[in-house]
Structure 1
Amino acid sequence: MDRLGKKQELKRNFRLLSIFSFMCVAMSTWVFVISASTGGLAAGGTGGFIAVYIGSCFVYFPIVLSLAEMSSIAPTAGGQLNLPISKVQKFISYIAGWLLTLSWLCGVASGMFLSGQMVQGAMLLHNENFDAQPYQVWLLVLAFCFGGFLLNTVGAKHLALVEVIVAAFFVMGYAANIIVFWVMSPKNSASEVFGTFTNGDGWSNFGYGILTAQTAALYLIIGSDGAAHMAEEIQDAASNVPKGILGSYLIGTCSGLVMLVTFCFCFTADALDSGTGFAFIAVYQRTTGSNGGALALTAILIILTFFSATNFMASASRQTYAFARDGGLPFSKAIAKVSPNLNVPILAVTIAFAFVVLLSLIDLGSYVAFSAIISLQLIALFATYEVAIGTLIYRRLYGPPLPERRWSLGRWGLGINIFAFVYGLFALTFIVLPSTPSVKGETMNWAPVIFVGVMCISLVYYFAGGRKIYFGPVRLVKNESEWARQRIAK
């Protein structure tokens, strides 16, 4: 922190086990495989979505590797804001800061939003005559978000311990779902599961239509880099942050694949027409043969989705705090202030809370709104990856050499970075697409419009005066040489 020109204000409560637990719960890949893969299954069929998921796991991995190395170079809450390039670092890091902050705030919103929707779905399962209204989802989101706010403020000092406990519940929930599906559910044949490829959204090119399921697949596997934004609260961060990023990604994607294949063996197309709005609830009902069993399994998903969103709120608030500390946001001094009693940036957490509550007002609870939030999150996140990894490639090619770091890609670094950059551009072309080729108001992907609007606001603020107070994190670095060679005294 001293070499990076930062003041250590947050307590390092997380060790390797607790940050690993934190990120596994934040990713919750197997949870979202069940609850949020409907779009992918509808777009590509079971065989198509499994193929797209596996492919996405492999081609996204170089991005994860690149982020892990960057987190070891500069283990601060700003994550990839510490761009390894100096000439244009100020403006580029400013844009990256807005993108990164937006993406993580949207991540909180998508999790809280999904939690509220699932509770309403459970109510409809319990009482099919329940009068479901969109405003109810918003009120549920408000309640969940307030719970996450309390855990990230009043309960922040115990968050590391909570993560280990929730991780144990996470493992038990995974085992419960796998056992119930394997033992109790009627099964599709292997040929049906792996051989069903559909162009459910009606694109003119069949293969292209299946590839549109990529957005749903990516949503399931993102989030492991959240460890980077908790770096200032992790002991021996230069080593443990990249380990947490890679470990949670590998565990999340592998367990998610097992759950996806299992779920597809139990999934039937008629589940997409479930009156609850969720295909998985219909699958649970068919598997257990009772509403009570379906409700119990749904409750597990709701609890874990809430804690996933709560962890996203922690990472989002630390990213907001780090960006404000560098002067990138309006009222930066207030946002970057850390509470001496709670040891958290209270206003940064409050901003995350307010952002979710306001963004969730979009169309008051519709599936289109949820899809827009996911797309906005992915657009901002991948745009940040492109900026950060692009500058990393530039630094490797034109020097000077990257600083010493505890975790390095070595001689493979440039090739991995280039592949990650090219794939990021490819993924973005699909993320910005509408859900169907026949675009109407209800099927329009409004995320690019919102994205452009936010970026316009950021540019107006920058040129109207923000550039005078924003200096960028790299300008504070005291000395790059040997900054990773000294370990924290134990």
Structure 2
Amino acid sequence: MAAALKPDLDHAFAMEEKAMDASVTFDGTGLDRDDQLLARLGKKPVLRRRFGFLAIVGFTCTMLVTWEGSLILFTTGLTNGGSAGLVYGYLFVWVGTLCIFTTMAEMASIAPTAGGQYHWVAMMAPASCRNFLSYITGWLVIAGWEAILAGGGYLTGTMIVAVIQLNHPSYVPQLWHGTLLFWATIAYALFVNTLLGSTLPKIELVMLFLHVVGFFAILIPLVACAPEKASAHDVFTQFLNGGAWPSQGLSFFIGLIGSVFAMFGCDATVHMSEEVNNAAVIVPWAMVSTTLFNGAIGFGMILAVLFVTLNVDTALESPTGVLGYPFMDIFYTATNSKAGANVMIAIVLVMSGAGSIAAMATASRIVWAFARDRGLPGWRTVTKLRSKTAIPMLSVIFTAIVTVLIGLINLGSSTAFNAVISLSVSGLYGSYIIVEVLMLYHRCTGRIRSAHDSANRLYEGDHLIWGPFHVPGIFGIAVNVCAVMFGIIIFFFSFWPVATPVSAPKMNYSILMTGSVVLFAVFYYVVWARKTFKGPIVEISSIPTGVKS
């Protein structure tokens, strides 16, 4: 089978390399289209554009790992919502996420830069608070992505612990077991992002292939081997309020966070945009197509698992369910084979590890971009590139070190560690809301003009110019409004604990962690950063002629 598939993969690699080698010039400057647009943003093109459309879609799909994440985070939706709540909650999150990333895709088409949200805020915010708001947004994005990387590594490590528990019932897991495996996952991601960094697009093409094939490799035996199936009535009408909240509606909204975690982070594509060819077109389309595709197969996996789960409580109370991964017991029950269950679980583990690779790449790029604009301590060092590969090696290493240090927290308290990784939702959604509120204001006041109205591709006074990807008219405004409303709902419920009564170990400390990041950012800005951070710095004051990248 591998031999048969090799020509297809080779063809895909060749097509991506052909796209990456293509250089399109215009305006007579000698710069290619991507570098001209980056120059108009004031930035020097120093990273190599290795990613074509398929490679960046593979990167984003394996970053989101939606069908895999839906399995990994199955407990959250089952506890608060039950099977019906999980189905309808997933659909609600899918539509809301599509609105968020469609709106952000429009901004990415206007200004495809690694800085992403904080750069866009600097472009759209009022002059009186532009630098400050951009700085706070930058810290929220960095905190969010560091938390995603830490959370992804932790989930991969603890899933390995759960697999051991499934195969050896006498095994007694310890906190340090999960921590060591978490560190091993981060080391693996570091190895790929440094020593194999130049081949990352090819790796992501392979992971995209595994992402699709793995979906069917689990779905088909899961449905075919299950001895009994739940009824449609049970799947689509049975709600559960396992958190003992005052109402089923409140429980439903709290249970959304699992689906949110499995589907957010599509802005990874944005932060890689300075390494993508034809970024103003490919980045936004990759964001939208990935959200649509991953959302569809994720929904299919959720339905399949719910139909083969006859007793939700049994799955939640199983040894792997107690560790937070009831899907492993569901696999075992459906196939009645530990070997079969282990193979299916191994696919999820491989893809979860691939997600950590993409998360580290993304987190390192936003760190590099923010340091480039002098928003971080030691910015001169962090921004250095490896000359042969043009990879921000020091920012990758810095990102890995910070994540490893975060893992030390788990040795003392899993509650404290979970508080740190809870920043992933609140941090990124906070940045999404800021960007989308500003964009809604600009589009409603006519401050974003058509490219046909101006010879300048990006700016005309204080007006922005729409990029190639644009949802026009009232429909675009409606999508933008839905994105803001959905973002506020998720941001609000990201601070809620999963059950009542609330005790110290079960408390959601996300609001404390998010507040701490914001307060630190404000303090550092007032004391030091306001002297060095003036928003995205202008590295190129004019577009040079006769220079070809």
| TM-score (normalizing by structure 1) | 0.94
- Sort the Cα spacing of 1:414 and 1:477 in 2 relative to 1 into closer, same or farther, 3 A: farther
Partner of 1:282: 329
Equivalents in 2 of 1:367, 1:465: separation in Å? 34
Structure 2: how far apart are the matches of 1:20 and 1:90? 32
Give the drift of 1:180.
1.1
CA distance in structure 2 between the aligned counterparts of 1:435 and 1:351, rounded to whole angstroms: 33
Output aligned runs, 1:323-338, within 5 Å.
Answer: 323-338=370-385
Q: Structure 2 residue aligned with 1:200, among 214, 218, 242?
A: 242
1:132-161 deviation line (CA, Å, top 9, x unaligned) = 111011100111101100111110100000
| Structure 1: gaps (5+ residues) | none
1:82–1:474 Cα contact (<8 Å) kept: no
**TM alignment of 1:85-484, pairs within 5 A:** 85=124, 86-87=126-127, 88-185=129-226, 186-267=228-309, 268-269=311-312, 270-276=314-320, 277=323, 278-364=325-411, 368=415, 371-398=418-445, 399=447, 400-411=462-473, 412-473=475-536
Task: Give the gaps of 5 or more residues in structure 2.
Answer: 1-37, 448-461
Note the alpha carbon deviations across 1:328-376, whole angstroms, 9 max, x for none: 1111111111111332112211222122222223343977567535531
Stretch of structure 1 that moved more, 144-153 or 215-224: 215-224
Q: Encode CA deviations 1:292-342: one digit per residue, 9 max, x unaligned.
A: 211111111111001011101111110111111001111111111111133
| Residue pair 2:242, 2:499 contacting (<8 A) in 1 also | no
Quickly say closer, same or farther: Cα 1:22–1:365, change in 2 above 3 A: farther
SS in 2 for 1:402: strand
State the match for 1:79 in structure 2.
Answer: 116
Q: Secondary structure at the match of 1:263?
A: helix
Q: Is the 8 A contact 1:56 1:218 kept in 2?
A: yes
Cα distance in 1 for residues equivalent to 2:97 and 2:278: 26
What is the CA–CA distance in structure 2 between the aligned matches of 1:416 and 1:194, rounded to whole Å?
A: 28
CA displacement 1:96-139 (0-9 Å, x = unmatched): 10001111111111111100000001111121112311101110
Q: CA RMSD in A?
A: 2.0
Residue in 1 that maps onto 2:28: none
Taking a change above 3 Å as real, the CA distance of residues 296 and 369 of structure 1, as seen in their structure-2 partners, is farther
Q: Which deviates the most, 239-248 or 34-43?
A: 34-43
Aligned match of 1:7: 44
How much has 1:205 moved relative to structure 2? Answer: 1.4
Please give the per-residue CA displacement for 1:77-106, whole angstroms capped at 9, x wherever unaligned. 111222232513211111110001111111
Offset of residue 419 of structure 1: 2.4
2:74 and 2:326 in contact (8 A); partners too:
no
Structure 2 CA distance for partners of 1:61 and 1:401, relative to 1, 3 Å: same
Please say if residues 70 and 80 of structure 1, whose CA atoms lie closer than 8 Å, have aligned partners that are also in contact: no
Cα distance per residue 1:38-85 (max 9 Å; x no partner)? 111111100111111101111222111111011111111111222232
Instruction: Tell me by how many angstroms 1:418 deviates.
Output: 2.5
Q: What is the distance in 2 between the residues matched to 1:457 and 1:81?
A: 17
Q: Within 5 Å, give how 1:61-72 maps onto structure 2.
A: 61-72=98-109
C-alpha displacement of 1:402: 2.3
Take 1:420 and 1:489, find their aligned partners in 2: how far apart are those partners? 39
Q: Distance in 2 between matches of 1:216 and 1:368?
A: 17
Please say if residues 332 and 340 of structure 2, whose CA atoms lie closer than 8 Å, have aligned partners that are also in contact: yes
Aligned length in residues: 483
Q: How many Å separate the matches in 1 of 2:167 and 2:201? A: 35
Distance 1:475 1:187 in 2: 61
Q: Which stretches of structure 1, 4 residues or more, deviate above 4 A after TM superposition? A: 365-371, 474-479
Greater Rg by CA: 2
- Do the aligned partners of residues 382 and 328 (structure 1) sit closer, same or farther apart at CA in structure 2, a change above 3 Å counting? same
- 1:152 alignment partner, SS class: helix
Structure 2 SS opposite 1:168: helix
Partner of 2:57: 20
Q: Note the alpha carbon deviations across 1:405-432, whole angstroms, 9 max, x for none.
A: 1111222333322221122112211111
CA contact (8 A) 2:176 2:410 kept: no
